[in-house]
Amino acid sequence: MAETMFVAGHSRLPAGMAAKNVYDTLTITVELERKYGVILEASCTLATEHGRDYIGRLLRGHSIQHGVDHLVEEVKHHYYGKATNAIVAALADLHYQFQQIKLKS
């Protein structure tokens, strides 16, 4: 277990989304391989199980060690829901949190 870490990124959800009725923010959580920042598992607080699963599969296997620009492009290319900007912002926060953890290590 010491080879992995759990990191969360947060952003605000836009008005008019089903998830907004339950959450004020979108949260993306990932289990990362510690050394290279490879996403082993990912989850988010989208309202539908299908949406949560899709984002998890989309992010899995990517490294965030050198940024999330490639993930942002993946999201923009494949996800066409109202939460696109919130997902992008949560990914940026996720990378920031990862960098802060790495600085402390």
Domains of the chain, CATH where assigned: 4-104 (3.90.1010.10)
> What is the SS3 assignment for 67?
coil
pLDDT at residue 63, as a whole number: 97
Angstrom distance (rounded) from CA 88 to CA 53: 17
> What is the SS3 assignment for 93?
helix
**pTM, rounded to two decimals:** 0.89
Quick one: average pLDDT of 73-86? 94
The answer to whether residue 15 scores a pLDDT higher than 90 is no
Question: What tokens does 64 get?
Answer: 């965030």
Q: Bigger pLDDT: 23 or 44?
A: 44
